[in-house]
Structure 1
Amino acid sequence: MDATRKFVEKEQLTNIVDATFGSARRLDTVARLRGGSKKGVYRLTFDDAFTAILYVWSGEENYWPVAHSEQETDEFDPLSSASGSDLFEASHAQLNAVGVRTPRIYFLDRSRRHITDDVAVVEDVRGGTLEALIHSDPQKAKHSLKRLGEALQVMRQQRGRCPGKVALVESVGDFPLRLSCEQILLSRALRDLAESASRVERIAQVRVRLEEKIYDLVSAVRPRHEYSLIHGELGPDHVLVDEQGDPVMIDIEGTMFFDVEWEHVFLQLRFGDHYQWLRASDLDEQRMQFYALAMYLSLVSGPLRLLDGDFPDRAAMMEIAQSNIQRVLTFLDKPDQD
């Protein structure tokens, strides 16, 4: 399915390599890494066996359909599409400033003099993903998980007065708070419910009951006026492991100030039994319940929408959608909130 898309080729990268490393290295091979849906990720191997990673923010690399609502393109919405070199640069700076490890940047260019898209050349962290380490060596993974839990606690302690992506908060400052996190997620959950119901008959049959459950859950959430720094989509596949076994966060463009419970719902979902190393105290249980349903609905509608296009790993996306359909439906068996 990728045949109609034009990806980066070795011949296009001469100027980028020169701008990054000068004449010290010659590019040997370029390998496109699979799995991303919004940007291209390539491993560059040089004549001295050194390797680096190339990020390319290009329409050719973005498999998501064109946004079909204002909310999806609203820069003030923390959950709108998170892709772009500006988001990457701001998030990288914020995370590194608080001591959270991310791949080092060797070169970042938005001039498009070297190639027709924004690019970055970054450190190649060769320890693999935390997800792979958990499966291959669970005992060794405990160190990485513990260190990741410490990094998450550091991020939680970073406070913002408004929810928003790091790049926006940095550029605008204390912009007026238009919606709280729960209001943002209420709107999103209702939209995702409508889309899920239009695609999935089992959800369509209980749409009214699910909408009632959404309003019941959000009604139990108390106001909050301070927000924490979160990654936004931190699964074990978005964490690499360096030579010391320490975690290195990637896919950081969506880093934002938001309710920490949104992060922890996703962490629980993606880390399963290993969440014990990442668990945080004093989470708001009412938020956790509401945000879980909102998360599951988004993980039904999002993957199914992605499959409208030519995303190659279709089986994985369908599995995500199917498992979260079941999670959504289990909410109808739960008692109402007090």
Structure 2
Amino acid sequence: MYKENLIESHRRIKQYIHNTPVLTSQQLNKIAGVELFFKCENFQKMGAFKMRGATNAIMQLSEEQKQKGVVTHSSGNFAQALSLAAQSLGVKAYIVMPSTAPQVKKNAVLGYGGILIECEPTLAARNKTAQEVSQKEGATFVHPSNDMNVIIGQGTAAKELLEEQPDLDYIFTPVGGGGLIGGTALAALYFGENCKVIGGEPFECDDAYRSMISGKIESNTTTNTIADGLKTELGDKNFPIIKEHVEKIIRVTEEEIASAMQLIWERMKIVIEASSAVAFAALLKEKESFKGLKVGIVLSGGNVDLKKLPF
């Protein structure tokens, strides 16, 4: 079932997204001891993979739903993605953002035509405000990561990667809300040749790592990480996929994230955000286990506040 969904979704969203480049680096291959293929979603429209899932979710709505618009809550990248996807498709987007979200991300939402509504920086406040907007405006709620249309849309990045490099042994992605890794796991299952998926996660918010051990969705008590895109938790739609199809989750320290981010900036001359670097940091941490293999890494985004670089 999901294989057809992935193929149809990819066909559906193609004209609204970029088929992003896959880059390699001899220097980083040497450092990691593997053959690396970076799927550069930092070059995606609005600067992150989330454009894929947002576009797919809106395109699946009925005409009546499209007329009333969509609403989501997000600290940044999905907020921008839904705003731009909605603008491309002529649909209104109401975006609930915590007041503490980076100003650069708020500005981007406004620049993409999103209707910005700020709230207290707690998950409860985000949910409550989004619900209020949905009731008042009749807008359809689109979850940033716990929505099958979003998950399938995000999986198209790994589908493209595997079309270019069909014999990858592993694909690494960062883990936040679980949409990207869930979609990637499905793409690897249907389009890879025994390709396994591994997630990278900060120690500072390791809910997915703990969820894999306990078998149920765990929460975070703190989210004190520079990987600001990964501060959310798994959901009941993506967790069963992750539990079944993701090999494991590797946790990394803040120093390891900053160091991996710096390496990519320096050696590849591309801009990625800290959340993106988590997947590469996870590989470097356990590189002995992957010696000589072919490894894909989804660089999830490049929306960086340049005044707050961790190096």
TM-score normalised by the chain length of structure 2: 0.32
Larger radius of gyration: 1
User: Using CA pairs below 8 Å that are at least 6 residues apart, which structure has the higher relative contact order?
Assistant: 2
Q: TM-score, normalised by structure 1?
A: 0.31
